[in-house]
Amino acid sequence: MTSIDVRNLTKEYGTRRAVDDLTFRVLPGRVTGFLGPNGAGKSTTMRLLLGLDRPTSGTATIGGRPYPTLDEPLRHVGALLDAQAAHGSRTGRDHLRALAASNRLPARRVEEVLEETGLASVARRRVKTYSLGMRQRLGIAAALLGDPEVVLLDEPSNGLDPEGIVWVRELVRRLAGEGRTVLVSSHLMNETASFADHLVVLGRGRLLTDMPMRDFIDARVQPRVRVRTTDDPALETLLAQRGLDAERHQDGHWTVHHARVDDIGRLASGAGLPLLELASEEGTLEQAYFDLTATETEFTARPQEARR
**From 68, 177, 252, 274, residue interacting with other proteins (rule: CB under 8 A):** 68
Which is nearer to other proteins, 95 or 180 (by Cβ)? 95
54 sits near other proteins (criterion: CB under 8 A): yes
Dmax over CA atoms of the chain, in Å, equals 75
Between 29 and 48, how does the x/- string for binding to other proteins read (CB under 8 A)?
A: ------------------x-
Site for other proteins in 89-128 (CB under 8 A): 89-91, 94, 97-99, 101-104
72 sits near other proteins (criterion: CB under 8 A): yes
**From 5, 12, 82, 116, residue interacting with other proteins (rule: CB under 8 A):** 82
285 sits near other proteins (criterion: CB under 8 A): no
Which is nearer to other proteins, 44 or 229 (by Cβ)? 44
In angstroms, what is the minimal distance from the CB of 194 to other proteins? 27
85 sits near other proteins (criterion: CB under 8 A): yes
56 sits near other proteins (criterion: CB under 8 A): no
Q: Which stretch binds other proteins (CB under 8 A): 31-39, 57-65, 81-89, 183-191?
A: 81-89
Residue 212, classed as helix, strand or coil, is strand
Phi-psi sector, 228: left (phi>0), alpha (psi -120 to 50), beta: beta
286 sits near other proteins (criterion: CB under 8 A): no
**From 79, 213, 238, 246, residue interacting with other proteins (rule: CB under 8 A):** 79
Contact present, 173 and 195 (Cβ < 8 Å): yes
In angstroms, what is the minimal distance from the CB of 85 to other proteins? 4
Q: Which stretch binds other proteins (CB under 8 A): 32-40, 51-59, 156-164, 209-217?
A: 51-59
Which is nearer to other proteins, 79 or 238 (by Cβ)? 79
For other proteins (CB under 8 A), the number of binding residues is 34
Contact present, 227 and 277 (Cβ < 8 Å): yes
291 sits near other proteins (criterion: CB under 8 A): no
Triad 169, 171, 177: Cα angle to 5° = 105
Q: What residue type is assigned to position 298 of the chain?
A: E
Sign, CA dihedral 267-273-278-282, equals negative
> Whole-angstrom Cα distance, residue 199 to residue 149?
19
Q: Which residues pair with 280 in a beta bridge?
A: 225
Contact present, 124 and 91 (Cβ < 8 Å): yes
What torsion, rounded to 10 degrees, do the Cα atoms 140, 136, 216, 22 define? 80
Contact present, 231 and 274 (Cβ < 8 Å): yes
Which is nearer to other proteins, 125 or 214 (by Cβ)? 125
Sign, CA dihedral 146-41-6-284, equals negative
For 197-284, where are the alpha helices, taking DSSP H only? 213-220, 232-241, 261-270
Q: What residue type is assigned to position 10 of the chain?
A: T
In angstroms, what is the minimal distance from the CB of 42 to other proteins? 15
Return residues touching other proteins (CB under 8 A). Answer: 47, 50-54, 67-74, 77, 79, 81-82, 84-87, 89-91, 94, 97-99, 101-104, 142
